[in-house]
Amino acid sequence: MEHRIRVLVAKPGLDGHDRGAKIVARALRDAGMEVIYTGLHQTAEMIVESAIQEDVDVIGLSLLSGAHMTLFIDVADLLKKKKISDVIVIGGGIIPKKDVPKLKRAGISGVFGPGTPCEDIVDFIQKNVKR
């Protein structure tokens, strides 16, 4: 039986805009992935705990508030602290290009800005999930 990729889509922090996250979640479902959407206003601890409980392959973070350098990195650091190395973390939202290398060094595998085709996100996940 083939393993279906499981993705946790989360909105960290106080950002209340989730339309993009819901669009990506729908595209991932349409591509055959299982998607768990946590809803708004999640802490790093809540996101990582949900990822553990749901046994996900991917955590997808969506943020438009500009706090990505703190909130995305908090999630990646907490995964490292808990010795969870088989879950990839991706992020999307309003993220300046200059921040992308820092995020990748911190453990964010993929960063997707506004206008990224959903197919690109699906392809990235399919190519990078450890099976």
Position 1 scores a pLDDT of 60
Distance CA 63, CA 92 (A): 6
Cα torsion angle, 94, 45, 10, 7, sign: positive
Q: What is the mean pLDDT of residues 89-105?
A: 97
Q: For residue 107, which of 65, 55, 69 has the smallest C-alpha distance?
A: 69
Task: Judge whether 41 and 71 are in contact, CB under 8 Å.
Answer: no
Is the model's pTM score more than 0.85? yes
Predicted confidence (pLDDT) per residue in 66-75, tens digit = 999 999 999 9
Task: Label residue 130 by pLDDT band (50, 70, 90).
Answer: confident
Position 111 scores a pLDDT of 98
Domains and CATH numbers, the chain: 9-126 (3.40.50.280)
